[in-house]
Amino acid sequence: MQTHFQPQLLSPAPSARAQTRKTSIVGASLTSGLKALTLACLGLLFLSLSPQMLQAQTAKTKGLPSLDKTLSNGMRIVVFEDNRSPTALHMVWIRAGSVDEIDGKSGIAHVLEHMMFKGTRTLAPGEFSQKVAALGGRENAFTSREYTGYFQQVHRDALFEVMALEADRMQNLVINEEEFSKEIKVVMEERRLRTDDSPQGRSFEALMATAFQAHPIRRPIIGWMNDLEELTANDARDWYAHWYRPQHATMVVVGSVNAQEVFDKAQTLYGAWASSPTNEDKNAGAKPREFVEPKQLGPRTAEVTAPAENPFFIDAWKAPVLGANDGPLSPENAKARDVVALSVLASLLDDPNTGILIESLVRQRQLALGLSVSSDTVSRGPGLFTITGSPRPGRSIQELQGAINEVIEEFLGKGVSESQLERVRRQAKASQVYQQDSLFSRAMVTGRLAMTGRPLSDRMAWLVMLDEIKAEDINRVAASVLRDENRTTITLKPTDPQAAVRRGLGTNILRH
Output the pLDDT for position 7: 54
Strand pairing category for 87-94 and 148-155:
antiparallel
Together in a domain, 353 and 456: yes
pLDDT in tens, 196-228: 999 999 999 999 999 999 999 999 999 999 999
Together in a domain, 115 and 183: yes
Residue 508 has pLDDT above 50, yes or no: no
More confidently predicted of 292 and 145: 145
Q: Model's pTM, two decimal places?
A: 0.85
Q: Is residue 199 part of a domain?
A: yes
Output the pLDDT for position 432: 77
Last residue of a domain, one of 270, 285, 311: 270
**Backbone φ and ψ of 26, nearest 5°:** -95, 115
Contact 159, 226 (CB under 8 A): no
* CATH code, domain with 471: 3.30.830.10
Together in a domain, 366 and 229: no
Burial class of residue 155, CB neighbours in 10 A (0-12, 13-18, 19+): middle
pLDDT in tens, 357-386: 999 999 999 999 999 999 999 999 999 999
Candidate from 112-126, 274-288, 299-313, 318-332 with smallest mean pLDDT = 274-288
For residue 198, the enclosing domain spans 61-270
Together in a domain, 439 and 358: yes
Output the pLDDT for position 433: 76
Which residues is 389 bridged to in the sheet?
313, 371
Together in a domain, 308 and 393: yes
Together in a domain, 307 and 243: no
**What element of type H or E holds 1?**
none
Contact 103, 172 (CB under 8 A): no
Q: Is residue 2 part of a domain?
A: no
Q: Is residue 45 part of a domain?
A: no
Q: Is residue 25 part of a domain?
A: no
Q: Is residue 16 part of a domain?
A: no
Together in a domain, 68 and 163: yes
Q: Is residue 512 part of a domain?
A: no
Q: Is residue 35 part of a domain?
A: no
Contact 30, 138 (CB under 8 A): no
Last residue of a domain, one of 254, 270, 286: 270
Residue 1 has pLDDT above 60, yes or no: no
Residue 392 has pLDDT above 90, yes or no: yes
Q: Is residue 508 part of a domain?
A: no
Percentage of the chain modeled with pLDDT above 90:
75
Output the pLDDT for position 3: 31
Together in a domain, 207 and 352: no
- The DSSP result for 339-380, as a single string, is HHHHHHHHHHHH-TTT-HHIIIIIIIS--EEEEEEEE--B-S
Mean pLDDT of the chain: 85
CB neighbour list of residue 148: distance below 8 Å, 6 or more residues apart: 93, 94, 96, 97, 109, 110, 112, 113, 141, 142
pLDDT interval class at 192 (50, 70, 90)? very high
Together in a domain, 342 and 257: no
Together in a domain, 402 and 253: no
Strand pairing category for 368-375 and 67-70:
unpaired
Last residue of a domain, one of 255, 270, 285: 270
Q: How many domains is the chain partitioned into structurally?
A: 2
Output the pLDDT for position 35: 32
Together in a domain, 196 and 325: no
Together in a domain, 262 and 406: no
pLDDT in tens, 16-67: 323 333 433 333 332 333 333 333 333 333 333 344 334 334 434 457 899 9
- Residue 219's SS3 state is coil
